[in-house]
Structure 1
């Protein structure tokens, strides 16, 4: 467990916020044009998948914020 603050946590939180905003704007801008004519059930599935897709890289990102390594295991 670390005892000193690290620059990675505020930078990581800022990067996460910026990344999520950019991702959300891209989804809101381009996806409706592509799937607007689809059945509502299919649109729901697409938006659910896209709404959860940002979680995939989150584990490694949080590991980097805590340890400085991109792998999920720290080198203790």
Structure 2
């Protein structure tokens, strides 16, 4: 396991899927691998995250991306 954090452009769901997929490739136990594959399948079946609108500039996107975006770029039209 590494100390890497998910990229800022990744959603929580994307980070979870990445970590599960990496764990499967490193797993040495068939029983654990089966559980990881089941978890990955369930992760991929999760309902989509609803989009939200920024109250300042009106841009629409995933909640974690809206929270991290720069409103100034959108307000000035750049």
Report the TM-score, using the length of structure 2 for normalisation: 0.31
Report the TM-score, using the length of structure 1 for normalisation: 0.32
Structure holding more helix per residue: 1
| Structure with more contact order per residue of length (Cα contacts < 8 Å, sep ≥ 6) | 1
Structure holding more strand per residue: 2
